[in-house]
Amino acid sequence: MNLTMFSPQLLLALGGTLLLLYEAFGRENKRTLQPVCTILVLLAAGVLLWLSDGQVGLLFSGMVIFDRFFIFFATLVLLGSVLAVAVAAGSLAEQRAYHGEFYALVLFSVLGMLLLISAANLVIVFLGMEIMSIPLYIMAALRRSSSRSVEAGAKYFLMGAFASGFLLYGIALVYGATGSLRLEEIAAAWADGAGLSFVGISGMLLILIGLAFKIAAVPFHMWEPDAYEGAPTAVTAFFAAGPKVAAFAVLLRLIIWTFSISDPIIWRFVWMLAVLSMTVGNFLAITQSSVKRMLAYSGIAHAGYALIGLVIGGQAAVGLIGFYLLGYFIAAVGAFAVISALEGKQEESLSFDNCAGQGKTNPALALALALFMVSLAGIPPVAGFVAKFYIFEQAIQHGFIWLVIIAAVNSIVSVYYYLRAPVYCFMKIPESETPPAPVSLGLIFTLVFAAVALVVIGVCPELFIKLADSSAMWFL
């Protein structure tokens, strides 16, 4: 067994443990050291990941898999986590939500995400899901003095417990139907028809329901708006980046590799999730007065757009969803970074009324927010437009014309609420003068990186599409 392929996970576990010990026994003056160390650990894990490129294999008696799929989606998780931690370095202290254990929790949660992406056994799927989720519940309630933050953590925990219950019960039923927990053996049993019993199909649907909770697909979305709004904004940025990427990755492993998407029950279930998520997410986002809550509902809609790739199926789905998630999470993290700066010390979530006049007071932040909203709306020439165009084009080529029509109508609807924030920033007169927002170095880094990345991906998408497509090189 070659443990060098497992070195990113080992480094994250070691880094999280050391940061937790340093928080308990270290010096008080550590607010600068902890975020820097966290970012360095995440970057080092990424370097180890790519140094192992070219090696493919199973570890720990077939429990964990290392392949290009894992490398690509783990890179997305690590990149999103770096951007979120850079925002948190200045934002948490500003919002009186600074707790040093946050950085250890980030590393432990990312460890769970990487385990989830690399799972070749349903036991590792469950284990990775729990290691990823438990730190997220704690982070949602990080602002302990705020009842809204504590409520967000409690709601997230309760809904996460439901999701874990569905997942675990589904795993048990699939094991009963196929006699194995290894994805490769389950796939063989499914192909032979051995798993296509009432017990096997019920277990498969319960697993998909558990994962649908994690990507906040309708009707399993109830936790996301409250968790996003109640959590500190820097934490919300982390929620929008890593967990959804990891959950979509394991969905791809299970549906494309293990349970065939050609199965009519799975196909109809995913199709329904895509349509409901796009429609409900977009139309509920219109009614929101809070920018964070609006972005939460729009995240539900974007999960629906990404699910179109899953409906298409085949190895093409891997590249489609990978490229779409890349464009989405960069814009989402950038938008939450701007919101964290504009909120400043206020405990209430940023409303659209609070955005009024920001184009004059904080022109750079207002312009950055406009760029991120334009990308999320899918307006050219930034990454969001290319990602939507790519996934819609492939869906039309595969004959899903009605699904694309529904998605296109929803995209037009989304333009209204995405452009509300820029309109308020540049065209609305504020009721009172607002002071310039404080901007940390970490926030500047995230905003500049996200803005440049969205433009580069939008103008030159070929390289990134090729990288996403190459991740479809399976172990099999």
Q: What are the per-10-residue average pLDDT scores of the chain (476 residues)?
A: 77 90 72 83 89 72 84 91 87 68 90 92 92 90 78 86 90 89 84 75 89 88 84 87 90 81 75 91 89 90 91 81 90 90 74 80 88 90 89 88 90 90 83 72 89 91 83 57
Helices (H), 253-315: 264-286, 291-312
Distances (CA, A) of 149 to 139, 159, 200, 227, 297: 9, 15, 39, 8, 18
| pLDDT given at position 194 | 67
Asked, for residue 475, whether it belongs to a domain, the answer is no
**In terms of residues, how long is the chain?**
476
Q: Is residue 476 a part of any domain in this protein?
A: no
* Site of tokens 């309708």: 218
What does each C-alpha distance from 202 to 175, 176, 225, 229, 274 come to in angstroms? Answer: 12, 11, 29, 34, 20
Residue 209 lies in a domain: yes
Evaluate whether residue 454 is within a structural domain.
yes
The torsion of the CA quartet 432, 434, 435, 438, rounded to 10 degrees, works out to: 160
Domain hosting residue 369, numbered range: 3-470
Question: Hey, which residues does 293 pair with through a beta bridge?
Answer: none
In 10 A of CB 192, how many CB atoms?
10
Residue 294 within any structural domain of the chain: yes
According to the model, what pLDDT value does residue 156 have?
Answer: 87
Q: What is the pLDDT of residue 263?
A: 65
Q: How many domains does the structure of the chain reveal?
A: 1
- Residue 276 has what pLDDT? 93
Q: What is the pLDDT of residue 257?
A: 78
Evaluate whether residue 281 is within a structural domain: yes
3-state secondary structure of 58: strand
Give a yes or no: residue 336 inside a domain.
yes
In whole angstroms, give the CA distance from residue 27 to residue 240: 32
Please check whether residue 189 lies inside any domain of the structure: yes
